[in-house]
């Protein structure tokens, strides 16, 4: 398979949702709808570029789901629609669905932005999130956010922001790192350097894993992505 960013993205995404062990109905429904949101978002982003695309749609839907609980009326309807969650009651949505995922969500208002204490509690309890008022005009705000990201991911993510607009009123931040074993696993002695296309014009040699077997394969024409099913997980 030709390696590329878009393909690995879809892999990360599906691995994340399928590997959760305790799947009850609401989680399963949310997982399906999140996957739908992810595919639509990926399609929209990927259709505008020929470069590799890497984005964590799961981190994005978690952050927007945390915001969702603070909204009502047309704003809530639009968020539900955007997230492919139309018809679901935000109060009954589970906070987080994926196992093996180190993930954090933060709701960071400016000092002058009023946020009810019940919403602050909800962010902390339901989403296990971080709530902190910041002074976005001071560089300390950047340091605070990046330190939070490091703590959430065991330092796998070092920096999520480099510059903050001093006029920011509310910042939703989310970080995620995911580590999982391939099943069945790859044989390390078969790993060899192969071409990876960073862009159409830039090629680098990277260690590439190989495995030969028979797999069920599906191709999504609109996503231009191949999906492969194996015994315990889905990858592409």
- Residues near ligand NAG, by CB under 6 A: 187, 189-190
Tell me how far, at minimum, the Cβ of 208 lies from ligand NAG, in Å: 15
Q: Which is nearer to ligand NAG, 26 or 187 (CB)?
A: 187
Distance between the two ends of the chain, CA-based, in angstroms?
9
| Closest distance to ligand NAG from the beta carbon of 185 (Å) | 8
Q: Which residues of 26-51 are buried (b: 16+ CB within 10 A; e: fewer)?
A: ebebbbebbbebbbbbbeeebeeeee
Q: Are 174 and 60 in contact (CB under 8 A)?
A: yes
Q: Minimal CB distance to ligand NAG: which residue? A: 187
Q: How many CB atoms lie within 10 A of CB 76?
A: 15
Q: Which is nearer to ligand NAG, 172 or 208 (CB)?
A: 208
- Nearest residue (CB) to ligand NAG, 44 versus 212: 212
**18: Cα within 13 Å, side-chain hemisphere:** 15
Minimum CB–partner distance for residue 38 and ligand NAG (Å)? 34
Q: Closest CB to ligand NAG among 179 and 189?
A: 189
Cβ 188 to ligand NAG shortest distance, Å: 8
Note if the bond before 194 is cis, omega within 30 degrees: no
């Amino acid at each position: 398979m030709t390696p590329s960013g878009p393909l690995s993205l879809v892999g990360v995404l599906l691995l994340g949702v399928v590997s959760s062990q305790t799947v009850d109905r609401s989680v399963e429904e949310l997982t399906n709808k999140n996957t739908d949101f992810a595919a639509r978002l990926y399609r929209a982003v990927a259709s505008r570029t020929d470069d590799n695309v890497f984005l964590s749609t799961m981190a994005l839907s978690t952050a927007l789901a945390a915001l969702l609980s603070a909204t009502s009326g047309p704003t809530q309807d639009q968020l539900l629609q955007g997230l492919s969650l139309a018809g679901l009651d935000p109060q009954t949505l589970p906070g987080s669905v994926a196992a093996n995922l180190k993930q954090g969500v933060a709701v960071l208002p400016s000092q002058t932005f009023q946020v009810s204490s019940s919403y602050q509690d909800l962010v902390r309890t339901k989403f296990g999130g971080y709530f902190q008022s910041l002074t976005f005009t001071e560089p300390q705000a950047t340091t605070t956010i990046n330190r939070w990201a490091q703590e959430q991911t065991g330092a796998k993510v070092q920096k999520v922001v480099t510059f903050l607009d001093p006029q920011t009123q509310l910042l939703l931040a989310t970080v995620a790192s995911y580590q999982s074993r391939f099943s069945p696993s790859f044989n390390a002695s078969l790993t060899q350097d192969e071409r990876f296309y960073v862009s159409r014009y830039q090629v680098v040699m990277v260690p590439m894993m190989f495995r030969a077997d028979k797999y069920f394969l599906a191709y999504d024409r609109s996503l231009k992505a191949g999906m492969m099913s194996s015994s315990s997980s889905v990858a592409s």
